[in-house]
Amino acid sequence: MLCKIILCLLPVAFAQVPIPHRPLGFVYKWGNASAPVDLDVYLDNLCPDSAETFPTIQKVADYYGPKQLRLRIHLFPLPYHHNSFLIAMGTRAVDQLTKTNMTYTWVQQIYNNIVKFSDVTLTQAQVVTKMTELAKSMGMLETEFMKLATDEMVNEDCRIAWKYACSRGVTGTPTFMINDVVVAADPAWTVSEWNKVVDPLLKKSLGVSRTRDCTGKKRCEYLPGKIECCKPGEACIPNVGCRC
């Protein structure tokens, strides 16, 4: 019986995902780790559906603000999107070189040039060259970018991130998770459609009624479900509240 148990556990031991050097994912605009809503989105740099949803998820994050919703993207290069793994390495290189400041801008630039980078006739060296040209146009040094984009440790970090996504059950892109639970969202969802999912979570988290009486004062719903009554001279500021 003991032998059977050991044999059953062996695959689990060998399936252990390597522990990354730092938390995985690229955080949008310094999202707060204590935000009540975590939106994790798994993307492929050369996936048209990922390209479609990318601007919207940023608008969603901007709508709620970093204290209420933290957006993180994770790269999941799909094997049938030629060159995608190399571009994931390039994305990680940009993240390191710019101290996360230009990561999302880079990803959008890749999507803007998705046809060029999806060319299956390109060699690995040609893909790196095209990425280097793009990095240079964004103000990065060619030599520094090329060194990181082909670095063994960067390659390993991309592999670990990919294995982690697999361990979470990710099989395609984009995959959306809110607070670690998969959401059956569509890449074409608008901000208002995301609101229908996120707003109820924030209402429960904040525990504030929408029916607050502000008779004689300006009613300020500065976050979904969170209301203040502004005094004369105060303005209602989104994500902040009543302020002079």
Cβ–Cβ under 8 Å, residues 205 and 72: no
* 67-76, 122-131, 200-209, 234-243, range with the lowest pLDDT: 200-209
Give the whole-angstrom CA distance, residue 44 versus residue 117. Answer: 12
Residue spans of the domains in the chain: they are 22-193, 208-243
Confidence class for position 219, pLDDT limits 50, 70, 90: confident
Q: Is the pLDDT of residue 232 over 90?
A: no
> What percent of the chain clears pLDDT 90, i.e. is strictly above it?
73
E strand or H helix at 149, and its extent? helix 142-149
- Please report, to the nearest 10 degrees, the dihedral formed by the alpha carbons of residues 149, 155, 161, 167 taken in order: 150
- Phi and psi at residue 115, in whole multiples of 5°? -65, -45
Per-residue pLDDT at 225 exceeds 80: no
Range 96-110 average pLDDT: 97
Collapse the DSSP code of 219 into the 3-class scheme (helix H, G, I; strand E, B; otherwise coil) and give the result: strand
Percent of residues, the chain, with pLDDT higher than 70: 89
d(CA 227, CA 224): 8
Contact, 120 vs 68, CB < 8 A? no
- CATH fold of the domain at 22-193: Glutaredoxin (3.40.30)
More reliable by pLDDT, 21 or 172: 172
Question: For residue 33, with 0-12 CB atoms within 10 Å meaning exposed, 13-18 middle and 19 or more buried, which class applies?
Answer: exposed
Beta strands in the chain (DSSP E): 26-27, 37-43, 69-75, 175-178, 181-183, 218-223, 226-230, 235-237, 241-243
Angle at 76 between CA 73 and CA 81, to 5 degrees: 125
**Strand, coil or helix: 181:** strand
Provide the whole-model pTM.
Answer: 0.79
Q: What is the pLDDT of the chain when averaged over all its residues?
A: 90
- The verdict on whether omega for the bond into residue 174 sits within 30 degrees of 0, i.e. cis, is yes
| Tokens matching residue 243 | 């302020």
Q: pLDDT confidence of 222, banded at 50, 70, 90? A: confident
- Nearest alpha-carbon partner for 194 in 68, 49, 42, 56: 56
State both tokens at 132.
Answer: 């280097």
How confident is the model over 37-85, as pLDDT tens digits? Answer: 999 999 999 999 999 999 999 999 999 999 999 999 999 999 999 999 9
